[in-house]
Amino acid sequence: MEPFTDPLAAPEPAGPEYVLHLYITGATPNSTRAVRNIKDICEQYLKGRYELIIVDMYQQPELAQREDLIGVPTLIKRSPGLVRRLVGDLSDRERVLKALGINLSDEGAVL
């Protein structure tokens, strides 16, 4: 006997479409800017579709060591698609959007 499934029930929520890890070093100016910039980008272009994990290398050095980072702050896009890495304060919005695979039309709408 098959289990009963309510056809009117809401579908199970899927996991986040974008999984991002941002590695920072405390409250340095570059780290603070990177956190602010990626949060702004996520809320503007990925609202409700992302998971952002912020790792402070001073508090969790073992996590940073596994990533073999060459500089900080570093944003690592785990999904969707290929893993991408961006180093810096993420202030070049166009570059960040391109790395995340977010294309904008001339009107600024997400395609």
User: Is the pLDDT reported for residue 90 higher than 80?
Assistant: yes
> Is 7 contained in some domain?
no
Please state, rounded to an integer, the average pLDDT across all residues of the chain: 86
pLDDT digits (tens, 9 = 90+) for 13-65: 566 899 999 999 999 999 999 999 999 999 999 999 999 999 999 999 888 88
> Is 109 contained in some domain?
no
> Is 108 contained in some domain?
no
Domain count, the chain: 1
Q: Which of 53, 52, 55 is nearest to 26 (CA)?
A: 55
> Is 9 contained in some domain?
no
For range 67-86, the mean pLDDT: 93
Which domain range does residue 36 map to?
18-100
User: Is the pLDDT reported for residue 71 higher than 50?
Assistant: yes
- CATH at 43: 3.40.30.10
Q: Which of 61, 42, 44, 37 is nearest to 52 (CA)?
A: 42
pLDDT of residue 1: 53
> Is 74 contained in some domain?
yes
